[in-house]
A = this chain, B = another copy of it.
Amino acid sequence: MKINQFAQSHPDLSTIKKELQLVGFKTEQTDAKKLFYELLKQIQINPTSSSNFQEKLNQLLATNQERLGDFFSTETPLSAEVFYLVALQLLGFQPTVDFKIDQPLESVIKLNLFHHETIDTTNQLIEAWYDLLNTHGKNDLTLLDSIAAKGYFTKSEFAPNQPLFFKGKAQATFLAKDFKYETVYVQTDFDSDFDGKNDLLKVEITRPKTDVKVPVAYTASPYDQGVNDTLGEQLTHNVNQDLTKKVAGEIKLTEPQPLKHGTKQKTTDSTGQATETHQPKPGYTLNDYLLVRGFASVYVAGIGTIDSDGLQTCGDPQQTASTIAVIEWLHGDRIAFTNRTDGIEIKADWCNGNVAMTGRSYLGTLAIAAATTGVSGLKTIIAEAAISSWYDYYRENGLVVAPGGFQGEDADVLAGETFSRSLRAGDNFKIRPTFDKYLKQMEADQDRVTGSYNQFWNDRNYRNQMKNIKADVMLVHGLNDWNVKLRNPYELWQGIQDLPIQKKLILHQGQHVYINAFPSFDFSDIVNLWLSHELYEIDNHAEAILPNLIVQDNVQPDTWYKESNWPNNSTTHKKVQFDREIFKNDVPQANFLQYSKNPQEWRNQIFNIKDKTLQDNRVVATAEFDKEITINGEVKLQIQVASDTNLGMLSAVLLDYGDAKRLNENPTILARHGVPLGYRWYSDDLREFTLNKKATPFKLISEVHLNLQNRTSPAINEPIEPNHFYNVELNFQPTFYRLPKDRKLTVVLYSTDYEMTNRNNQQISYGVIPEATLAIPFN
Which residues in window 606-648 of A have CB below 8 A to B? none
| Cβ 8 A contact of A51, one of B230, B342, B673 | B342
Residues of B within 8 A of A47 (CB): 275
Q: Within the oligomer, what is the number of copies of this chain?
A: 2
A202 and B97 alpha carbons, distance in the complex (Å): 26
B428 touches A95 (CB 8 A): yes
| Cβ 8 A contact of A341, one of B49, B183, B342, B425 | B49
10 A-B interface contacts by CB (under 8 A) = A45-B277, A54-B341, A59-B425, A59-B426, A61-B429, A89-B424, A89-B426, A177-B177, A281-B683, A282-B683
Residues of B within 8 A of A427 (CB): 58-59
| Cβ 8 A contact of A94, one of B68, B230, B426 | B230
Question: Nearest chain B CB to A675's CB is how many angstroms away?
Answer: 11
| Count of chain A residues near B, Cβ 8 A | 56
Residue A774 at the B interface, CB < 8 A?
no
Question: Nearest chain B CB to A224's CB is how many angstroms away?
Answer: 13
Residue A55 at the B interface, CB < 8 A?
yes
Given A95-B425, A177-B177, A427-B59, CB of A275 within 8 Å of CB of B51: no
A89 touches B282 (CB 8 A): no
A149 and B279 alpha carbons, distance in the complex (Å): 7
Residue A435 at the B interface, CB < 8 A?
no
Residues of B within 8 A of A101 (CB): 425
Contact pattern, A 250-288, Cβ under 8 Å of B = 1, otherwise 0: 000000000000000000000000011101111000000
Residue A408 at the B interface, CB < 8 A?
no
A67 touches B426 (CB 8 A): yes
A18 and B68 alpha carbons, distance in the complex (Å): 62
A429 touches B67 (CB 8 A): yes
Question: Nearest chain B CB to A695's CB is how many angstroms away?
Answer: 13
3 A-B pairs with least C-beta separation: A177-B177, A61-B425, A67-B426
A468 and B95 alpha carbons, distance in the complex (Å): 43
B680 touches A280 (CB 8 A): yes
Residues of B within 8 A of A683 (CB): 281-282
A661 and B186 alpha carbons, distance in the complex (Å): 49
A673 touches B282 (CB 8 A): yes
A424 and B95 alpha carbons, distance in the complex (Å): 8
Question: Nearest chain B CB to A476's CB is how many angstroms away?
Answer: 21
A342 and B680 alpha carbons, distance in the complex (Å): 28
A341 and B59 alpha carbons, distance in the complex (Å): 13
New A-B contacts (13) at CB < 8 Å, excluding given A46-B275, A52-B341, A281-B683: A46-B277, A48-B276, A49-B341, A52-B342, A55-B341, A57-B426, A58-B430, A59-B424, A60-B424, A61-B426, A94-B228, A280-B680, A281-B673
Residue A332 at the B interface, CB < 8 A?
no
Residues of B within 8 A of A295 (CB): none
A76 and B101 alpha carbons, distance in the complex (Å): 80
Residue A17 at the B interface, CB < 8 A?
no
